[in-house]
Amino acid sequence: MTSRDTPLSPPLHASPSGRGGEPPDPRPGPAGRQRRAPTRRPSADPVVDCAVYVDGRRQAPVAPEDALRVAVERGGFVWLGLFAPTETELGTIADRYGLHPLAVEDAVYAHQRPKLEQYDDALFMVLKTATYVEHERLTATSEVVDTGEVMVFLGAHYVITVRHGEHSGLADLRHRLESQRELLRLGPSAVLYAVADLVVDAFVDVAMAVDEDVDELEASVFSPERTDDIGRLYQLKRELMSLRRAVSPLEVPLQRLAERDVEVVPATMRSYFRDVQDHAIRVRDQVGALDELLSSILQASLARATVADNEDMRRISAWAGIVAVPTAIAGIYGMNFVHMPELGWRFGYPLVLLVIVGSCLLLYRGFKRNGWL
């Protein structure tokens, strides 16, 4: 994690979760595309935490169904944290908070690209989360980057975070924010900033960890030993693509929050979002540089494999040329003609053997001098 002046502490990493295992929803989404249902157990409560904040302080616990009314009456805001809610569960909350149906659908089924959308006086932002999957040794099937999603609904008196995946760290983030009263006084947009900052900081950690894998592969490719790293290089390049999909689209939403007038986001928050945007751009550039480096290493590995194959072919050709001499001489004297040179001479056989050995030695010396053997 890079050190920088920010009101947030470095994010804590949660244990990575595996991909896949999401049952498909038989109902098609817009444009007929297949949607996926949430991964949370149906019996689990989608509400992770619900609290009302007034003047930067957390108030006494209130029921989720009464939180918005209490926040409006006291001039504060409610922060409602959800984990993989079903369509019915989020639909009930959407009716209470007046959330737009299209945003609700995206939040239920997830698998969205990072974006920022405005619906009347409310904002809806999608952020991809990422974590590095620890492994003893990178293989051609290693999972390196695991991704999830966090959706944020933002209104004048509420902020709703919807989490998909096990590694967002929102619980720790809430605890840290509650100790920073001056930041929470800025309203719901302060929570949006904190979530975006947490996500980008996680990208920094993942990029640094992937950088170490790239260094290990680079050392392996250019080591004196003969190795086959093409499969590992391709797998790491694919995993890096997942991180790139999470980082690159985030620049535009952050730029909008940092430079334009956005309702429910006060002007005092622009500098905060500008700071997050700056670090998102740096991570994007770092991921792009790693991708280009991997492409160069992959090309070098292919070139090295080609050179090794050529060297093998030269050795095989050289030995074939050497073996061809005794084969040719033996073939000639095996034709069993009556009149052949030195066929009846007493020293003919030793002479032929000397010719064979001498010719082979001359060829071996020539091939060795030219680097073929």
Rg (CA), the chain: 34
| Domain final residue pick, 260, 285, 305 | 305
> Distance (Å, rounded) from C-alpha 20 to C-alpha 8?
32
> Is 1 part of any domain?
no
Q: Is the pTM of this model over 0.75?
A: no
Tens of pLDDT along 251-276? Answer: 999 999 999 888 889 999 999 999 99
Is the confidence at residue 365, as pLDDT, over 50?
yes
The pLDDT of 340-355, averaged and rounded, is 74
Residue 328 structural domain: 312-369
Q: Nearest-CA neighbor of 279 among 211, 187, 202, 212?
A: 202
| Domain final residue pick, 254, 270, 305 | 305
pLDDT of residue 353: 79
Contacts of 362 (CB under 8 A, 6+ apart): none
Share of the chain above pLDDT 70, in %: 84
Same domain as 217, residue 182: yes
> Is 13 part of any domain?
no
Q: Which CATH number do you get for residue 331?
A: 1.20.58
The pLDDT of 355-362, averaged and rounded, is 82
- The tally of domains found in the chain comes to 2
Q: Which CATH number do you get for residue 253?
A: 3.30.460.20
Same domain as 327, residue 216: no
Same domain as 146, residue 226: yes
pLDDT of residue 339: 64
Same domain as 330, residue 187: no
pLDDT of residue 16: 36
Same domain as 163, residue 100: yes
Task: Find which of 34-38, 305-309, 335-339 is predicted with most confidence, using mean pLDDT.
Answer: 305-309
Same domain as 294, residue 210: yes
> Distance (Å, rounded) from C-alpha 26 to C-alpha 49?
31
Is the confidence at residue 37, as pLDDT, over 70?
no
Same domain as 287, residue 329: no
Whether residue 208 contacts residue 6, with contact meaning beta carbons closer than 8 Å, is answered with no
Same domain as 281, residue 333: no
The pLDDT of 325-351, averaged and rounded, is 72
Whether residue 270 contacts residue 257, with contact meaning beta carbons closer than 8 Å, is answered with yes
> Is 18 part of any domain?
no
> Is 5 part of any domain?
no
> Distance (Å, rounded) from C-alpha 174 to C-alpha 161?
11
Is the confidence at residue 205, as pLDDT, over 90?
yes
Is the confidence at residue 6, as pLDDT, over 60?
no
The pLDDT of 1-28, averaged and rounded, is 37
Is the confidence at residue 88, as pLDDT, over 80?
yes
**C-alpha dist (Å) from residue 5 to 277, 359, 365:** 14, 77, 69
Q: How confident is the model at residue 3 (pLDDT cuts 50, 70, 90)?
A: very low
284: tokens are: 């994007």
Is the confidence at residue 11, as pLDDT, over 70?
no
| Domain final residue pick, 283, 305, 327 | 305
> Is 12 part of any domain?
no
Same domain as 171, residue 128: yes
Same domain as 239, residue 96: yes
> Is 345 part of any domain?
yes
> Is 66 part of any domain?
yes
